[in-house]
Amino acid sequence: MNFALAAVLLPLLAAVLALCWRRQAARLVWLSTLFSLLLALAALWQVVTFGPASMQLGGWQTGLAIRWQLNELSALLLLMTALIHSLVASYSLSQWRDAGLSADFWPLSALLQSALSSLFLSVDLFNWYVTLELLGLAAVALVLLSGKKALQAAMRYLLLSLAASLCYLLGVALLYGHYGWLDVPQLAVAISEEPVDHRLALWLITAGLMLKAALWPLHVWLPAAHAAAPAPVSALLSALVVKGPLFMLYMIWSQLAGPELAVTGSWLFLLTGSMALVVGGWSALRTPYAKVMVAYSTVAQLGYGLLALGLMLHLTDPAFTQALFIFVLAHALAKTSTFLAVGEMQLRLGGKRLSTFRGASQTMPLAMFAVAVAGGSLIGLPPSGGFVAKWQLLLPLWQHSQLWWLLPVILAGTLLSAAYIFRLVVLAFNRAKPVRPDFAPALLPQWLALLPALLVWMLAFASGSLLSWLGG
């Protein structure tokens, strides 16, 4: 457990030092992300070797202390957070002056990493609220790094995030008033022993978390915020920030909802997930702007997560839990690559519209290859991580004939994903527009954008171990 604790505290320390030594902020935070990655690997090894562990922070008894739990799932998500942050920090370090990033990016990104890592380790409703607030404030401040053009998008994000926090906190207050517990495992025991109608509390918490995660139809803040933010910030928002509330939805509904309420909630997730796939994919296909397309793609792709969560609650099949978190890992890597590559091409080619990418396969082939490889996982082409997640979703679904209507919905979502990805690829293979004689974009940022796309395809080769791990 000590390795996991260090993986949370190190970025927090780096954020404080980066504020004190602004000139060295980039190197300090970059080094902290690399050491955090090593600590996360050590925490994963600890779970493999010694099994799950828990810690009562402050030495207080259960109920007063904040409980952290390191198990198979939290160790995997901690590693994902550290890996994405190290990739984005490496890209930003190679590019931060050209990309328009100010020195404020470094302490804010470190604070975001610390908050999200703490969220994945916590099993306490109020501590989740604290980490959500830290996560949201850091994310809004990161969006504002683009300057005045991002002010409206950041303000909308902030106001909706505060509204979501009020919904969540009111739901937590109702549960605490009924049962006197904030610790989720203890609260689950209390609910099973003294059943009280807690539907309103769970619906309030769910509404708040769906708004925080930009899940359809509460996604109104996401496209503008992702499009306005610098490329590294968009990568962090799409790959990581929206995954924290999704993880909390899984934890709360899997532990605090009884069988009857779980079936009721499953229909909400199945219907909203289906609409997200279709409406989000159609919006991505219609927009003329590259980053807005990738942002709407996030709305659509999160629909798979909602479907997996709904099916898990409806059918109580552990295969859907595996599908949910394989999707989380694959989507995080694919979206990191997509946003970094698209941002790099926008920066070098000088435009935000999709038409700017005409001929990009000749002018910036490496960055365009990264978009195509990551897009293959978003579509679900084998043997990518996206394919493994979708296969794990479809295989048990095929055996349950009462939910047959989800199969054409998933097919429609897949076809829409292919349509907007190939729309960009076809433009890239058109004849390139003339470029300056001295046009020579740096290769290192493009390789760093390609790396997570390659990792998401390598994820398939470790899928057996991952499925077994998540099944445990």
Tokens at 125, concatenated: 């409703």
Whether the CB-CB separation of 226 and 238 falls below 8 Å is answered with yes
Residues with Cβ within 8 Å of residue 250, at least 6 apart in sequence: 309, 312, 321, 324
Res 220: pLDDT: 83
Res 65: pLDDT: 65
Q: Which residue has the higher pLDDT, 422 or 404?
A: 422
Among the residue ranges 47-56, 252-261, 409-418, 459-468, the one predicted with the least confidence is 459-468
Res 96: pLDDT: 60
Q: Report d(CA 383, CA 457) in Å as an integer.
A: 6
Local structure of 81: helix, strand or coil: helix
Q: Does 472 have pLDDT greater than 60?
A: no
Res 440: pLDDT: 64
Among residues 252, 391, 267, 249, which one has the least CA distance to residue 320? Answer: 391
Q: Does 372 have pLDDT greater than 60?
A: yes
Q: Does 97 have pLDDT greater than 80?
A: no
Local structure of 398: helix, strand or coil: helix
Res 347: pLDDT: 79
Res 345: pLDDT: 84
Whether the CB-CB separation of 370 and 449 falls below 8 Å is answered with yes
Q: Does 435 have pLDDT greater than 90?
A: no
Res 61: pLDDT: 66
Res 83: pLDDT: 93
Res 275: pLDDT: 92
Whether the CB-CB separation of 240 and 336 falls below 8 Å is answered with no
Q: Does 9 have pLDDT greater than 80?
A: yes
Q: Does 386 have pLDDT greater than 80?
A: yes
Q: What's the pLDDT band for 46 if we cut at 50, 70, 90?
A: confident
DSSP code for 352: S
Q: Which residues pair with 65 in a beta bridge?
A: 62
Res 54: pLDDT: 78
Q: What is the DSSP string of 116-181?
A: HHHHHHB-BHHHHHHHHHHHHHHHHHHHGGG-GGGHHHHHHHHHHHHHHHHHHHHHHHHHHHHHS-
Angle subtended at Cα 265 by Cα 189 and Cα 72, rounded to the nearest 5 degrees: 55
Q: What is the DSSP string of 195-245?
A: ----HHHHHHHHHHHHHHTT-TTS-TTHHHHHHHS-HHHHHHIIIIITHHH
DSSP code for 399: T
Rounded mean pLDDT of 382-386? Answer: 85
Q: Report d(CA 70, CA 42) in Å as an integer.
A: 12
Residues with Cβ within 8 Å of residue 231, at least 6 apart in sequence: 99, 291, 339, 340, 342, 343, 344, 346, 347
Q: Which residues pair with 62 in a beta bridge?
A: 65
- Give me Rg for the CA atoms of the chain: 21
Res 218: pLDDT: 83
Q: What's the pLDDT band for 117 if we cut at 50, 70, 90?
A: very high
Give the tens place of pLDDT for each residue, 145-198.
877 887 888 888 889 989 999 999 999 988 888 887 888 888 888 877 666 667
Q: Report d(CA 427, CA 429) in Å as an integer.
A: 5
Tokens at 408, concatenated: 């054409």
Rounded mean pLDDT of 440-452? Answer: 83
Handedness of CA 115, 386, 460, 255 (dihedral sign): positive
Q: To the nearest whole percent, how much of the chain has pLDDT over 70?
A: 93
Angle subtended at Cα 395 by Cα 417 and Cα 276, rounded to the nearest 5 degrees: 35
Residue extents of the structural domains in the chain: 1-122, 123-471
Q: Report d(CA 362, CA 428) in Å as an integer.
A: 8
Whether the CB-CB separation of 330 and 301 falls below 8 Å is answered with no
Distance of CA 356 to the CA centre of its chain: 28
Res 433: pLDDT: 67
Q: What is the pTM of this model?
A: 0.91
Res 250: pLDDT: 92
Q: Does 357 have pLDDT greater than 60?
A: yes
Q: What's the pLDDT band for 344 if we cut at 50, 70, 90?
A: confident
Among the residue ranges 19-28, 30-39, 108-117, 291-300, the one predicted with the least confidence is 19-28
Tokens at 314, concatenated: 């409806």
Q: Which residue has the higher pLDDT, 202 or 364?
A: 202
Mean pLDDT of the chain: 85
Q: Report d(CA 351, CA 343) in Å as an integer.
A: 10
Angle at which helix 259-275 crosses helix 406-428, to 10 degrees, equals 30
Q: What's the pLDDT band for 397 if we cut at 50, 70, 90?
A: confident
Tokens 């219907």 sit on residue: 271
Give the tens place of pLDDT for each residue, 306-339.
999 999 888 887 888 888 889 999 999 999 999 8
Whether the CB-CB separation of 457 and 378 falls below 8 Å is answered with no
Among the residue ranges 81-90, 299-308, 425-434, the one predicted with the least confidence is 425-434
Rounded mean pLDDT of 246-258? Answer: 88
Tokens 């996604």 sit on residue: 219
